[in-house]
Amino acid sequence: MTRYPRNLIGYGPNPPAIEWPDGAKVAISLVLNYEEGGENCILHGDEASEAFLSEIPNAQPWPGMRHWGMESIYEYGARAGFWRVRDLAVSRNVPLTIYGVATALARSPVQVAAMKEAGFEIASHGLKWINYANFSRDEEARHMAEAIKLHTEVVGEPPRGWYTGRCSHNTVEIAAESGAFDWLADNMDDDVPSWFEHAGRQQLMIPYSLETNDMRFSAGTFHTSEDFFAYLRDTFDTLHAEGEAGSPKMMSVGLHCRLIGRPGRIKGLADFIDHVQARGGGWFATRSEIATHWKARHPAPPVGTPRPSTMSRDDFVARFGGVFEHSAWIAERAFDLELGPAHDTAAGVHNVLARAFRAAEEDERLGVLTAHPDLAGKLAAAKRLTPESTAEQAGAGLDALTDAERARFTELNDTYQGKFGFPFIIAVRDHDKAGILSAFESRISNDRDTEFATACTQVERIAQLRLEDMLA
């Protein structure tokens, strides 16, 4: 593997300048997963009963049999839990995004009517509430197309958002390729939306969360409504403080009819909504509202924007071959390292170039040192420096020396070269003229091993500064 597809950098230290409506510090997405009637069940053509997200500890699937208790728990979500959550949302005037499993929605026409009457957004949660990990790509794509068709028939319009949940490694790509969705949510990789480029288009990703999520009741990490409320409150308060400090984020709250819809748990959600509304600074929004806002304020970058990790070898070497002075071989070797999205930055490219430099034999690194010009030397006087070196030396005032300064630099250059066998190298942009001269006079007393290491460090620093200019 020489290209690593996972994105471990995201926005890094430079998050987008987010401005939520009305100056909100946190955008809050309340998501109600409607899965009841779409779960694993032999009545639905599945091989075994459901075993996930219920009140039954350590539940196991029953192959070839119906599981009356499991079915009853899911039925509770449709018969009682949904209405309890619906009533709370309506009474507090907060919007819900429904992640609706298409077959579950088809079996719940009264609940669908209630969702529409309340103005809830109804996104797709797949055809069935099952695990797609071992599906073929074609079979999963067929299920997705069937889910869209059934959803459209049941709801009256196609879904504009998608979340599979128990997805495969193909899910996001299949959904993006379809071009059917304004947003996808099968990512839990950030606190803000992002763009995913695939198959010639940019797909908006709105992250979801499994920790600000009532599924932790079934996992045994939340026990009381106070547990749920406290965790949601602390999350909101932390994000609110970050928003006040100039870095607004979003917060997803995952809900399930059969879990949060229990009378002993719903109070935790009610307390959280009350806390946000009392404190202020929270924007309760559907995911489509967040998507619309994001697209207007943070539009997708052009498709095919060149990135270091996707460049051809020739383009990569042409772009970065001169970062280390007259040493294109460093870029050639760096290209063969494992590159990914994290290397599409100045720091990322610098890291792989520096790795290639550090891994080289000593005589190769010496060749890089000797490729550098003397400071204020003959090449500079003859205007034979690279454009980068010319600009760097001029920026430090080395193109405007007095006769005495020039004579001193010439003397030091000759002495240094005679002692070490390579030119004095320093990242001149980190110093003024006096500082450079002082470092020159100090370092000339070093032993060769110390000075060789120091010169190599300075070569890497020069490369870093050049890349920061190139990839700002």
Active site residues: 372
How many angstroms separate the CA atoms of 416 and 306, rounded? Answer: 42
Say if CB 176 and CB 196 are below 8 A apart. yes
Question: At 179, which amino acid appears?
Answer: G
Query: Phi first, then psi: what are they for 435, rounded to 5°?
Result: -65, -40
Contacts of 241 (CB under 8 A, 6+ apart): none
Cα separation values, 403 from 393, 410, 444, Å: 17, 11, 22
How many angstroms separate the CA atoms of 427 and 381, rounded? Answer: 19
Say if CB 372 and CB 456 are below 8 A apart. no
How many angstroms separate the CA atoms of 97 and 120, rounded? Answer: 6
How many angstroms separate the CA atoms of 262 and 83, rounded? Answer: 11
Contacts of 391 (CB under 8 A, 6+ apart): none
Strands of 170-312, DSSP E: 183-184, 194-198, 201-205, 249-256, 282-284
Show the CA angle centred on residue 65, arms to residues 60 and 68, nearest 5°: 75
What tokens does 210 get? 């499994």
Say if CB 154 and CB 101 are below 8 A apart. no
Say if CB 298 and CB 202 are below 8 A apart. no
- Helices 266-279, 225-244: axis angle to 10 degrees equals 20
